[in-house]
Amino acid sequence: MSVDLPSGETLLNEPTLNKGTAFTAEERQRYGLEGLLPPAIETLDRQLERVLHHLDAKPNDLERYIYLTGLADRNETLFFRTIMSDPNRFIPIVYDPTVADACLAFGHIFRRARGLYLTRDRKAHFAQILRHWPMQDVRFICVSTGGRILGLGDIGANGMGIPIGKLQLYTACAAVPPHQLLPVLLDIGTTNEALRADPLYLGLRETPPSDDEVDEVADAFVEAANEVYPGVCIHFEDWKGTDAMRLLERYRDKILCYNDDIQGTSAIVVAGLTTALQIKREKFADQRVLFYGAGSAGLGIANMIVSAMQLEGLSEEAARSRIAMMDINGLLVTARDDLNTWQRPFAREVEPASDLLEVVRWFKPTALIGVSTHGGAFTEAVVREMAKLNRQPIIFPISNPTDRAECSAAQAYHWTGGSALFAAGVQFEDVELKGKSLHPGQANNFYIFPAIGLAVYATKPKRITTEMFIHAARAVADQVDQGARDRGMLFPLQTDILETEVTTAVRVADHIFDRGQAGVERPVDVRAWLEKLLYKPEYLPL
């Protein structure tokens, strides 16, 4: 019997090694598994067939999420084989929108700890705690405080479902090896009183500290992560908006890191806009973009659009003049004294206004982007006004989950007579209108961040730049063929997500090599080299 591997029940309880009924007769003898498994020796495909039967019998997607979580805890290979067998079906279950329900119920559906929990009171011991993780070669850490989860707000430790789900998509969408991914919940407390009062809540029952202390905790984490895993890429996810903006600015030029809510969201919206403008045969520099919502996501998108306009020749000032933003208190104007550091550059020298329809009539936008989590904010009057102003209005209600979207696909298409170029943060059903089937786009970050992850995994750069995200956005847009555009699609089909992500990662890797930012030598054939690095959900001989 091998001295390097566990045996018997211990082996069956190790999800990265467990094959269940697929262990061969020789492996069963060698590792003391005889009698611990039924005699049938099955293939991975036969096991997948059983899993699909189990999933079909579940009453709803939350129950399917719970089942798949249990599968990941038992047999990692079979879990990823399942997800990658039909990404169009399973991504909405392991991630958005089902993950929102899972996070809300996290303490109630909890079965087994996954990832690492770091609490602010233990910040002096973060390096020691990180060393408790069994994998030594961690290349990516996705870390959240749970301070702003999807459209759910601050849900504290319940937000652990997000780093887990995000990293599963690194593998399911872009085949980044799962053993090099670490989900972390940095528990600084929560403002959510209902959660603090819930007896099944699993996090600190404290309110979050001051910004200065948050920065101290974040500094301790970043230092410890880079000490334990030198050169690790830190993926910041779902932090409170002002924390997200401040900490990205604090670290982006010092360590290998990015914030998906800011940069990933920005890139996928730019990808959708790129396709829409290719359909309209227009340039970024000619657009007027109105944002309903001016938090970290909206500001990140706005800044990336400014960068895209600058690449087309506009000055930064001219590009900013083509963007207007609204938040809960109305239009961002210079007369307001409640704007933060990142909002002020987009404040306009006009009279205050709080009515969206009024602002649309004044600003005459070509594109309307919703990042407000205010469900139904894009009313019929607003959308019809956009159609009056534009032959093909760009309508992007990005907020999620579904009930937080500013309007639905059916509403946008019917109110514009089918002329809208539409994308939402969640996937809406196809819409039949005037004898034509319209397929609404989903501006979901999973088209971007796994590809960025794969490119970074392969090329080992020292920093992640805005240009990498813009190249990723363009690569995604370029993969939408004319037939898809004729159906109103602004993004590639999810059924081919691995092919899409690899193609996007190759484009980003080429950019990294072109700029001399890679930490490895450039291969002759970047795609062939990158494909050899991809994880495959297959059982290996033990």
Amino acid 402: pLDDT: 85
Q: Quote the distance between the C-alpha of residue 406 and its chain's center.
A: 19
Residue 63 and residue 198 share a domain = no
Query: pLDDT per residue over 96-137, tens digit each?
Result: 889 989 999 999 999 999 999 999 999 999 999 999 999 999
Cα 442 from Cα 230, distance rounded (Å): 35
Residue 53 and residue 134 share a domain = no
Residue 247 and residue 169 share a domain = yes
User: What value does the mean pLDDT take over residues 319-333?
Assistant: 97
- The pTM (predicted TM-score) of the whole model is 0.92
* 468, part of any domain: no
Q: Is the pLDDT of residue 197 over 80?
A: yes
CATH of the domain at 223: 3.40.50.10380
Amino acid 98: pLDDT: 92
Q: Is the pLDDT of residue 360 over 90?
A: yes
Amino acid 2: pLDDT: 43
Query: pLDDT per residue over 11-46, tens digit each?
Result: 999 999 999 999 999 999 999 999 999 999 999 999
pLDDT band at 60 (very low <50, low <70, confident <90, very high): very high
CATH of the domain at 28: 1.20.1370.30
In a 10 Å sphere around its CB, with 0-12 CB exposed, 13-18 middle and 19+ buried, how is residue 268 labelled? buried
Query: pLDDT per residue over 345-359, tens digit each?
Result: 999 999 999 999 999
* 35, part of any domain: yes
Please state, in angstroms and as integers, the Cα–Cα distance from residue 359 to each residue in 314, 325, 351, 503, following that order. 24, 10, 11, 40
Task: Write out the DSSP string of 470-500.
Answer: HHHHHHHHHT--HHHHHTT--S--GGGHHHH
Residue 206 and residue 103 share a domain = yes
User: What value does the mean pLDDT take over residues 288-297?
Assistant: 95
Residue 247 and residue 139 share a domain = yes
Residue 158 and residue 16 share a domain = no
* 466, part of any domain: no
Phi, psi of 217 (to 5 degrees): -65, -45
Residue 173 and residue 110 share a domain = yes
* 38, part of any domain: yes
Among 213, 169, 207, 214, which residue's Cα sits nearest to residue 191?
207
Residue 171 and residue 73 share a domain = no
Amino acid 488: pLDDT: 77
Task: Show which of 33, 55, 83 is a domain's final residue.
Answer: 83
pLDDT, averaged across the chain: 95
* 222, part of any domain: yes
Exposed e or buried b per residue across 100-136, where buried means at least 16 C-beta atoms within 10 angstroms of its C-beta: bbbbbbbbebeeeebbbbbbbeebeebeebbeeeeee
Query: Which domain covers residue 20, as residue numbers?
Result: 8-83
Amino acid 361: pLDDT: 97
**What DSSP designation does 345 have?**
G
Strand duo 330-331 + 323-327: pairing: antiparallel
Query: pLDDT per residue over 143-195, tens digit each?
Result: 999 998 777 889 999 999 999 999 999 999 999 999 999 999 999 999 999 99
* 33, part of any domain: yes
Amino acid 412: pLDDT: 97
Query: pLDDT per residue over 480-503, tens digit each?
Result: 988 888 877 899 988 889 999 999
User: What value does the mean pLDDT take over residues 398-426?
Assistant: 93
Cα 50 from Cα 75, distance rounded (Å): 14
Helix boundaries (H) for 355-447: 356-363, 380-389, 409-415
Residue 127 and residue 152 share a domain = yes
Contact 541, 77 (CB under 8 A): no
pLDDT band at 210 (very low <50, low <70, confident <90, very high): very high
Query: pLDDT per residue over 421-457, tens digit each?
Result: 999 988 899 999 988 889 898 898 999 999 999 999 9
* 19, part of any domain: yes
* 139, part of any domain: yes
Cα 159 from Cα 187, distance rounded (Å): 10
The residue ranges of DSSP E strands in 83-210, in sequence order, are: 116-119, 140-144, 181-187
Residue 135 and residue 47 share a domain = no
Task: Show which of 206, 238, 255 is a domain's final residue.
Answer: 255
Number of independent structural domains in the chain: 2
- The residues annotated with a catalytic role in the active site are 95, 166
Amino acid 427: pLDDT: 85
Q: Is the pLDDT of residue 1 over 70?
A: no
Amino acid 48: pLDDT: 98
pLDDT band at 341 (very low <50, low <70, confident <90, very high): very high
Which conformational region is residue 339 in: left (phi greater than 0), alpha (psi within -120 to 50 degrees), or beta? beta
Residue 76 and residue 12 share a domain = yes
Task: Show which of 58, 83, 108 is a domain's final residue.
Answer: 83
Residue 174 and residue 103 share a domain = yes
